[in-house]
Amino acid sequence: MLLSQLGELGLLAELEARGLIVGVEHDAAVVGDGLVATQDALVEGVHFRFDWIDWRALGFRAAAVNLSDLAASGAAPEVLLVTLAVPGSTRAADVIAFYEGIAETGVPVVGGDTTASDVVLVSVTALGRSDRVPGRAGARPGDLLVVTGPLGAAGAAFRAGGYAVPPLRLEEGRALARRAHALLDISDGLAVDAAHIARRSGVRCVLELDAVPLAEGATIGDLAFGEDFELLAAVEDPEGFAVVGRVEEGDGVVTLYAGEPYELRGWEHFTAG
């Protein structure tokens, strides 16, 4: 079977079943002593293209998507490790701009690797500390589903030929981690990410799309794009955050608009690629 048939989630499930990877239900790995670690990669031509983003924005983005996973773990970031694979013909000034973009996040780069490659690939590891990592498996019937900000900015920006600047929801993540039953960041699309919670928690997530706060210029369809990097949490008390749905007994995700079923499709790397 090819990866494009198995899918990213199918692959992870297969690796987990064989004991080759562990603990993939969290956005970040809990390493011990409250230490959490996350690693995400951006590949030129797959996750970004240079006619849509400059080097500095790429640096910020590469760091931010990892810091978003720390936020979803309720962690305060400590350090970054950055691997940058670039053609030897790349201008040094561009690489410096890339690291300046990372520095905008305020988290120091303490290691990593630079290496040659035909396409640009960035892999960032973020390490941080968290008192409590809710994970995805604790949502309960009766919980409300909340988000930390407007969604759809990434999809709207993509339709306009660009990328939205990812938000950094570190403070919100720490606040939610103290009380959320489940917490993750919206990287695959609202419905797909809600499905992660539903599957791991053994519950049904009901999303009310007309209650979702939309970013400027965004449509409901943009909710399927993913990469918004806002946080989605299952909580008893939604105070301070926008309610976008609820948790029920059952399984899967139900998406409603004005109370009627409405299909939202998600973003799957291998089948999309």
The footprint of a second copy on residues 28-47 (CB under 8 A) is 28-33, 35, 37-41, 43, 45-47
236 is an interface residue for a second copy by CB under 8 A: no
CA distances from 155 to 212, 229, 248 (A): 15, 12, 28
120 is an interface residue for a second copy by CB under 8 A: no
49 is an interface residue for a second copy by CB under 8 A: no
In the complex, minimum distance from the CB of residue 241 to a second copy, in angstroms, rounded to a whole number: 26
144 is an interface residue for a second copy by CB under 8 A: no
Do the bridges between strand 253-257 and strand 204-208 make them parallel or antiparallel, or are there none, so unpaired?
Answer: parallel
Number of residues this chain uses to bind a second copy (CB under 8 A): 77
C-alpha angle 35-38-43 in degrees, rounded to nearest 5:
165
Contact with a second copy (CB under 8 A) among 49, 50, 54, 115: 115
Distance spanning both ends of the chain, measured CA to CA: 16
Return the range that interacts with a second copy (CB under 8 A); candidates 11-19, 208-216, 225-233, 245-253. Answer: 11-19
In the complex, minimum distance from the CB of residue 227 to a second copy, in angstroms, rounded to a whole number: 13
106 is an interface residue for a second copy by CB under 8 A: no
Return the range that interacts with a second copy (CB under 8 A); candidates 92-100, 137-145, 163-171, 251-259. Answer: 92-100
Contact with a second copy (CB under 8 A) among 96, 178, 237, 251: 96
| Cβ within 8 Å of residue 64, ≥6 positions away | 105, 165, 166, 167, 168, 229
> Could you give the dihedral angle defined by the CA atoms of residues 163, 252, 130 and 226, in that order, rounded to the nearest 10 degrees?
0
121 is an interface residue for a second copy by CB under 8 A: yes
Q: Which pair of structure tokens corresponds to residue 127? A: 């390490």
With beta carbons less than 8 A apart as the criterion, state whether 208 and 256 touch: yes
11 is an interface residue for a second copy by CB under 8 A: yes
**Given the complex with a second copy, which of 52 and 270 has the nearer CB atom?**
270
258 is an interface residue for a second copy by CB under 8 A: no
Q: Could you give the CA distance from residue 190 to residue 255 in angstroms, rounded to a whole number?
A: 10
**Given the complex with a second copy, which of 192 and 244 has the nearer CB atom?**
192
Contact with a second copy (CB under 8 A) among 82, 156, 170, 205: 82
- SS3 of residue 262 by DSSP: coil
CA distances from 208 to 28, 103, 182, 213, 223 (A): 28, 38, 18, 11, 12
**Given the complex with a second copy, which of 97 and 256 has the nearer CB atom?**
97
Q: Could you give the CA distance from residue 37 to residue 115 in angstroms, rounded to a whole number?
A: 23
Contact with a second copy (CB under 8 A) among 13, 52, 76, 83: 83
